[in-house]
Amino acid sequence: MEYKLCRVNHFCISSYFDASRIRSACIILLTAFFTLQFTGCQPTPIQLPSDESLLLPDGFIAVMIADSVGPARHIVVNENGDIYVKLRRATEEGNIVALRDTNNDGKADLIKRFGGRESRGSYETGIAIRDGYLYFSTHLHVMRYPLIPGELLPDTTRLDTLVIDDHEHGSHEHIAKPISFDNNGYMYIPYGAPSDVCQETNRLPASPGLDPCPQLEKHGGVWKFYADSLNQVQEESKNITEQVNPTGKLYATGLRSIVAMDWNPEDGELYTVLHGRDNLHRMWPNIYSPWDNAMLPAEEFVVVTEDSDYGWPYCFYDQLLGKMVLGPEYGGDGEAAGRCADYDDPIIGFPGHYAPNGLQFYQGEQFPDYYKNGAFIAFHGSTIRNPYPQAGYFVAFVPYENGEFSKDWDVFINGFAVVDPIVSTGDAHHRPMGLAVGPDGSLYVSDSVIGRIWKVMFTGDRNQFGENALVRMVEEKHSASNIRTPDKEEDNLQRDAPVVGEAIYQTYCASCHQMDGAGVDGRFPPIYAPQWVNGPKEPLITIILNGLDSPRYEIPMPNHGFLSDEELAEVATFIRQNFGETSDSVSVDEVRTVRESIHQE
């Protein structure tokens, strides 16, 4: 038996047919149900709305099964084909979206929202299904609802709380909680680091790192919990199985930020793709260039074994040098490994700031054997690669061969962003986020911008799939500006010598607020805000000097008091006279007056 897909213009009919009878079966179906012109059963490109197209290996198609469900994070598919999507924030209707195809036309026609009202405003990520329960997380809890056989919605009157994050965070950074299960009744939850690299003053240039880092006691690692015990808290226990009231156990440490995580049933190990640290050039311009800042450090694909330590905040992997290096906050010079030579290298060091947010191992039967047991990775896309084009915004694949993962990787899907190059994050039309495999072996991909959901299917001949099917994806890897290594000169979007105020903005501000000042939804605010920018000058100067921590945004703005009065006046003037603003300039005397008043408080 072989899975095939028949296309009639924009209608899709899927079923299981014997390979030798596929064409005649399609004709019978078309005659019986449609009068539209028969276009055959061979794979054809699926055109997305507004003439947007996704690029995949030969033999694959991507069908948009739902659109605009909301800013989607992770996704899971039940054994009956029902789809559940976690939204970034709770709404009045709920922050989980349930989708069902009731008429088998390939589109989700029943869409309902539910749950999560108790966590409105929190950072939403994890969702999973296990033993008849729908698990999901907020930034402070892991909870679940029992699924009802045959029903799309779970029983929302029976909410279990499994994990309570009961310690002070002091920051909105890296608070995602993806969920993974092993085969022995345990659940794995990451606790991201509440800073970039555990400095004395977070994200302050040249501020030294704390050594040892006290944040590692409760952050920067993965904790192991029981999958079915209620009200567990994050406490280290030497023997989790002997606890009367079970608590968590620190499983692995030195892991800065985890959003993409999955348990690999093939080898029985936990894997993740780590988010590397930020702002090497902004923090240490004497060591790292803007190009270094765009490329480094690596996003590390690693196997997370029990009691392992992956080096954060002291070390990071430099994929250009092919080794772990000591961070500049801890005495590193950009090349020396120092004590970091004692840490294991990752399986793959992907280029910096791709933003890995989804990881899914493939054990389905629909795709060619080449994909069996391999890893799909959704790269959500960078925000801080300026002055070079933003990168990521695609789905990669890592083959699994002879009992281990390849050191090389493929581009599996590209085209989500639509634009090329991606100058600012907000330019991207779509950003791939969550991955899941359905019961028929199809791969589902969610989009975090408007909430588009794709179903990726293989419609070619599995026995004929080979290197030729990957030729255009190899070309894409080396040509698309969101994937390839940027040229230091030609790809520098600011190579035409900006004015002084703009140069300061590009160095210290654009990594968060973006080159166009639009910011990044949920992470960094837009730079244009009349009450702060166009009004009295003192509030803008004060924010630049002191920084700002807003509950609306994940990452606080650090203080920039290290700028001289002249530099601060220049960058404040640039902000007030660009991004559509036309306010008057800021003088050095005005900056000096505000700085002195702050010091006197």
Q: Say what the alpha-carbon torsion angle 81, 86, 90, 93 is, to the nearest 10 degrees.
A: -10
Confidence at residue 601, expressed as pLDDT on a 0 to 100 scale:
64
- Pick 453 or 139 by higher pLDDT: 453
Close Cβ partners of 239 (under 8 Å, ≥ 6 residues apart): none
β-strand 400-401 against 404-405: which pairing, if any? antiparallel
Poorest-pLDDT segment among 36-40, 238-242, 249-253, 337-341:
36-40
Instruction: Please say whether the beta carbons of 412 and 57 come within 8 A.
Output: yes
Q: pLDDT tens digits for 129-154?
A: 999 999 999 888 999 999 999 999 99
Q: For residues 334 and 567, which has the higher predicted lDDT (pLDDT)?
A: 334
Task: Count Cβ neighbours within 10 Å for each residue of 84-105 and write b for 16 or more, e otherwise.
Answer: bbbbbbbeeebbbbbbbbeeee
> pLDDT tens-digit profile of 65-117?
999 999 999 999 999 999 999 998 767 788 999 999 998 888 899 999 998 65
Place of tokens 């156990």: 249
Integer distance in angstroms from the first to the last C-alpha of the chain? 77
Check residue 351 and give its pLDDT. 98
Domains identified in the chain and CATH numbers: 2-33 (no CATH), 51-70+353-494 (no CATH), 500-600 (1.10.760.10)
The answer on pLDDT for 46 being more than 60 is no
Contact between 410 and 473 (Cβ < 8 Å): yes
Contacts of 397 (CB under 8 A, 6+ apart): 371, 374, 375, 376, 377, 409, 410, 411, 412
pLDDT at 6: 34
What is the residue-wise DSSP string for 303-356? EE-TTEE--TTTEEEETTTTEEEE-GGGT--SS--GGGGGSPPPSEEEPTT--E
Q: 412, 396 in Cβ contact below 8 A?
A: yes
Percentages helix, strand, coil for the chain, rounded to the nearest 5?
20, 30, 50
Which tokens go with 261?
A: 């995580």
pLDDT score recorded for residue 477: 98
pLDDT in the model for residue 240:
52
Contact 393, 379 (CB under 8 A): yes
Distances (CA, A) of 498 to 80, 573, 575: 57, 14, 14
CA distance to 416, 482, 573, 600, per residue, from 491 (Å): 21, 11, 27, 46
pLDDT tens string 320-353: 999 999 999 999 999 999 999 999 899 999 999 9
Q: pTM of the full predicted structure?
A: 0.81
- DSSP assignment of 421-446, as one string? S--SGGG-S--EEEEEE-TTS-EEEE
Could you tell me if 28 and 34 are in contact, meaning their C-beta atoms sit under 8 angstroms apart? Answer: no
Nearest to 292 by CA among 369, 351, 242, 366: 351
Residue-wise pLDDT for 470-517, tens only, equals: 999 999 999 999 999 999 999 998 777 566 788 788 888 887 888 888
Q: Which residues contact 585 (CB under 8 A, 6 or more apart)?
A: 569, 573, 576, 577
Of the listed ranges 7-11, 236-240, 296-300, 508-512, the one predicted with least confidence? 7-11
Instruction: List phi, psi (to 5°) of 538.
Output: -60, -45
Give me 590's structure tokens. Answer: 């005005």
Indicate the pLDDT class of residue 14, thresholds 50, 70 and 90: very low
CA quadruple 421, 411, 253, 290: dihedral sign: negative
The dihedrals phi and psi of 171, each to the nearest 5 degrees, come to: -165, 155
pLDDT at 294 (0 to 100): 95
HEC secondary structure over 9-68: CCEEEEEEECHHHHHHHHHHHHHHHCCCCCCCCCCCCCCEHHHECCECCCCEEEEEEECC
Q: Are 211 and 223 in contact (CB under 8 A)?
A: no
Q: Give the Cα separation of 85 and 74 in Å (integer).
A: 6
pLDDT at 550: 77
Evaluate if residue 545 carries a pLDDT over 80: yes
Which helix or strand (DSSP H or E) is residue 143 part of? strand 141-146
Q: Checking DSSP bridges between strand 221-226 and strand 249-253, what pairing results, if any? A: antiparallel
Structure-token pair, residue 601: 């408080």
- How far CA 433 is from CA of 200, 353, 444, 572, in Å, comes to 33, 14, 10, 35
